[in-house]
């Protein structure tokens, strides 16, 4: 069997154009422009690339984009002051603090100070609790993107066996909650899981989110299963020339693609969906803040 390749780049473009349509309508019908603020502390090169890309795509869908770039040695007090100002700003509907933060800043405290209604990352403890109890919340962007692709592939996820490999707060745990919300039978596997290959072999849906290059081989995959690869790992690529690097996922694409029913590639799978879902969440937050109906298909 050769797996269908799930094209996340094309999917994300569709999501962004849906968002752009809603944004245009909000402007014409209600004179509202959704605003997204991104706060970046320090000069981590990968974070700078993400933030630039977020800013560009935010403007492209017609939203108001604000960036706060703060020095690496910014104090917690000064960072919280920026967040409180954004919380109070009616032109801002979504706030994202780029992680990781420099070591001297307490991430839980910082995230905890974002107004939960504007927490477009879905990291605030009250959004985590709402998601866990099946209530309306802001949903973390990467798991939301994975869920959209799975729903699109399967239609209904009800009754399917899902294994999430990885238990991070950003991906693994919220992904498991979302799959449970769609009535999957969910297993969360992690570094202490016994007999991981057999656990994965039971799954109709495998979501790999551990951050370990190509750790899931094809012979762990049940024939026909759908494999969602959240990993983005940079590894040496001597076949491209000396010192060259390439991006790979947490899944060994070549062997899994021979067995799975469908699979997301890296790059071009889950990655582009994250920013598309950030924009979708910003739109959702804007609608909620203004008591307007939420966009269909762009929220859980």
* Interacting residues with ligand GUN (CB under 6 A): 96-99, 121, 141-142, 274
Check if the beta carbon of residue 64 is closer than 8 Å to that of residue 91: yes
Nearer to ligand GUN, 82 or 96 (CB): 96
Q: Which of 18, 115, 119, 121 is catalytic?
A: 121
CB of 144 to ligand GUN, least distance (A): 10
CA nearest neighbour of 85 among 118, 127, 128, 126: 118
Q: Which residue's beta carbon is nearest to the bound ligand GUN?
A: 99
If you compute the radius of gyration of the chain from its CA atoms, what whole number of angstroms results?
A: 19
Nearer to ligand GUN, 120 or 256 (CB): 120
4 in active site: no
Q: In the complex, what is the shortest distance from the CB of residue 97 to ligand GUN, in angstroms, rounded to a whole number?
A: 6
DSSP 261: S
Closer to ligand GUN at the Cβ: 53 or 75? 53
Q: How crowded is residue 268: how many other Cβ atoms within 10 Å of its Cβ?
A: 17
Written as six digits, the tokens of 29 are 């019908």
To the query of whether residue 98 is one of the catalytic residues in this protein, the response is yes
CB nearer to ligand GUN: give 37 or 96.
96
- Take residue 144 and report the two structure tokens written for it: 């939301």
Helix (H, G, I), strand (E, B) or coil at 145: helix
Residue 244 to residue 108: CA distance in whole angstroms: 37
CB of 217 to ligand GUN, least distance (A): 26
What is the C-alpha to C-alpha distance for residues 205 and 214, in angstroms, rounded to an integer? 17
Shortest Å distance, C-beta 158 to ligand GUN = 28
Name the β-bridge partners of 90.
none
Q: DSSP E strands: which ranges in 42-158?
A: 64-70, 94-97
Is residue 166 within 8 Å of residue 251, measured between CB atoms? Answer: no
CB count in 10 Å sphere of residue 2 = 10
Quote the least distance from Cβ 99 to ligand GUN, whole Å: 4
Catalytically active residues are 54, 98, 121
């Amino acid at each position: 069997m050769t797996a269908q390749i799930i094209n996340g780049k094309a999917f994300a473009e569709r999501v962004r154009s849906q968002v752009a349509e809603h944004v245009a309508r909000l402007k014409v019908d209600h004179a509202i422009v959704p605003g997204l603020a991104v706060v970046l502390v320090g000069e981590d090169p990968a974070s700078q690339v993400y933030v630039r890309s977020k800013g560009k795509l935010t403007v492209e869908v017609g939203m108001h984009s604000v960036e706060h770039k703060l020095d690496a040695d910014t104090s917690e007090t000064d960072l919280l002051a920026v967040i409180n100002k954004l919380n109070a700003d009616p032109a801002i509907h979504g706030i994202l603090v780029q992680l990781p933060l420099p070591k001297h800043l307490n991430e839980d405290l910082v995230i905890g100070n974002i107004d939960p209604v504007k927490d477009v990352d879905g990291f605030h403890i009250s959004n985590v609790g709402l998601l866990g109890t099946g209530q309306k919340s802001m949903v973390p962007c990467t798991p939301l993107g994975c869920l959209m692709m799975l729903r699109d592939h399967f239609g209904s996820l009800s009754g399917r066996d899902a294994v999430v490999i990885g238990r991070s707060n950003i991906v693994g745990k919220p992904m498991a909650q979302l799959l449970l919300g769609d009535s999957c039978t969910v297993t969360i596997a992690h570094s202490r899981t016994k007999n991981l290959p057999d656990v994965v072999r039971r799954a109709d849906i495998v979501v790999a989110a551990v951050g370990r290059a190509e750790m899931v081989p094809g012979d762990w995959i049940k024939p026909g299963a759908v494999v969602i690869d959240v990993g983005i790992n940079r590894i040496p690529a001597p076949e491209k020339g000396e010192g060259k690097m390439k991006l790979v996922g947490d899944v060994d694409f070549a062997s899994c693609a021979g067995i799975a029913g469908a699979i997301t590639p890296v790059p071009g799978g889950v990655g582009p969906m994250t920013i598309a879902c950030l924009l979708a969440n910003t739109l959702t937050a804007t609608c909620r803040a203004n008591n307007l109906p939420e966009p269909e298909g762009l929220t859980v």
